[in-house]
Amino acid sequence: MKTNVDVLTMTATPIPRTMHMSIVGIRDMSVIYEPPHNRRPVQTYVLEYDEEVIKEAITKELERNGQIFYLFNNVEGIQKKADDIARLVPEANVVYAHGKMTGTKIEEIMREFIEGKSNVLVCTTILESGIDIPNANTIIVENADRMGLAQLYQIRGRVGRAERQAYAYITYKKDKLLTEVADKRLKAIKEFTEFGSGFKIAMRDLEIRGAGSLLRRNSIRTFRASRI
């Protein structure tokens, strides 16, 4: 389509450094605003962790024969968390997965989830990209204040991949005093829910984190050496 393009980078949420490179003209940028046909924005709630809310969210999704992603980014405690959810919602078939498992084991768990043999998947941030399961339309994120803004946006994008309304529950510990940066991230993920928000999220992330170094130290040394 274009003979003078050597590299095409595609992302839902550019990191601040990439965003800044586009703004200052180092990279050209194109933005896709239109969603796929019949998609709906994900209804997003940002709130303190509450077991009753979690139970209601899971039960509501199960009642419409849907599936749930539960993001718990702690490998050591993930089995206990899965057991806790199974006790909280006895009718749920809960499984868990994390990056320290073998590839074969993860593949087996994911296949069963896709086939509908389980309906609640508790997992770490291995969920972040490459997952497309249209029947999973509720996602619950625990300790979301520890995650980056672009990361939260990617995670939320794992649901709402079909015509059915999707829900995201972005939670943080009850009575926890959030840092200023964490508070800004959570407010942004709650504010930007419409389609095409990736660009706005990236801009807000740039405001919060700054652009970083455009050229790494090694690149600068190489550049200076070539000039000499």
Structure pTM? 0.81
Of all residues in the chain, the percent with pLDDT exceeding 90 is 59
Q: To the nearest 10°, the Cα dihedral for 71, 76, 78, 80?
A: -150
Which tokens sit at 36? Answer: 């796929």
In this prediction, residue 216 carries a pLDDT of: 53
Quick one: 43-193 is in which CATH superfamily? P-loop containing nucleotide triphosphate hydrolases (3.40.50.300)
Lowest mean pLDDT among 44-48, 51-55, 223-227: 223-227
Residue pLDDT, tens place only, 175-208: 999 999 999 999 999 998 887 677 777 778 777 8
Whether the per-residue pLDDT at 125 is higher than 70: the answer is yes
Closest CA to 144 of 120, 177, 169: 169
Tell me how far apart the alpha carbons of residues 209 and 185 are, in angstroms, rounded to a whole number: 10
Whether the per-residue pLDDT at 225 is higher than 60: the answer is no
Whether the per-residue pLDDT at 228 is higher than 80: the answer is no
What are all long-range contacts of 75-78, with beta carbons under 8 Å and residues at least 24 apart? 75/99, 75/100, 75/124, 78/122, 78/123, 78/124
Domain segments of the chain as ranges? 43-193
Residue pLDDT, tens place only, 74-100: 999 999 999 999 999 999 999 999 999
Between 23 and 131, where is the model more confident? Answer: 131
Which tokens sit at 187? Answer: 């407010």
Which tokens sit at 226? Answer: 């070539």
Phi/psi of residue 114, each to 5°?
-60, -35
- Give the E-state strand segments of 115-217 in sequence order: 120-123, 136-141, 167-172
Three-state DSSP at 85 gives helix
